[in-house]
């Protein structure tokens, strides 16, 4: 079972950004599958590194768009992006040290992505979704 199911409320109304959201959800779901299937430590670390890279690329894309539109809530949105990247880095460190808590990791990612999409990305949708 997938950790995060795609929902229309995760859509920004911009095909490229929506594809990036789908990719991020897919990476998180693959990571969750690996955790559940008695995974190898290196596979989970690889998935976390892939998540960090893909998320950083997506965030840069969104942040550029917010700057272009002089988006008022830029700082809060940007700070929440940094929070995810810092946490994924900490998760990689914990995996490397063998002190990771897989259930807590999955729960944290689930809560962050669902909340971020709804509370930070959805308002952005209202701005850029109507732009040409």
**Please, what is the minimum distance in Å from the beta carbon of residue 46 to Fe ion?**
22
DSSP 72-126: TTHHHHHHHHHHHHHHHHHHHHHHHHT---HHHHHHHHHHHHHHHIIIIIHHHHH
Binding mask of the shown chain, residues 30 to 49, with x at each position contacting Fe ion by CB under 5 A = --------------------
Residue 121 interacts with Fe ion (CB under 5 A): yes or no: yes
Residues between 51 and 90 that touch Fe ion (CB under 5 A): 62
d(CA 32, CA 110): 10
**Please, what is the minimum distance in Å from the beta carbon of residue 41 to Fe ion?**
29
Residues in contact with Fe ion by CB under 5 A are 62, 120-121
């Amino acid at each position: 079972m997938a950790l995060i199911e795609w929902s229309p409320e995760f859509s920004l109304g911009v095909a490229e950004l929506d594809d990036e959201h789908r990719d991020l959800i897919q990476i998180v779901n693959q990571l969750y599958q690996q955790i559940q299937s008695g995974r190898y430590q290196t596979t989970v670390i690889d998935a976390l590194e892939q998540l960090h890279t893909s998320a950083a690329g997506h965030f840069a894309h969104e942040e550029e768009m917010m700057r272009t539109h002089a988006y008022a809530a830029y700082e809060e949105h940007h700070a929440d992006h940094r929070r995810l990247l810092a946490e994924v880095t900490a998760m990689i460190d914990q995996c490397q040290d063998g002190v990771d808590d897989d259930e807590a990791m999955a729960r944290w990612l689930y809560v962050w992505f669902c909340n971020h999409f709804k509370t930070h990305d959805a308002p952005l949708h209202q701005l850029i979704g109507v732009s040409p």
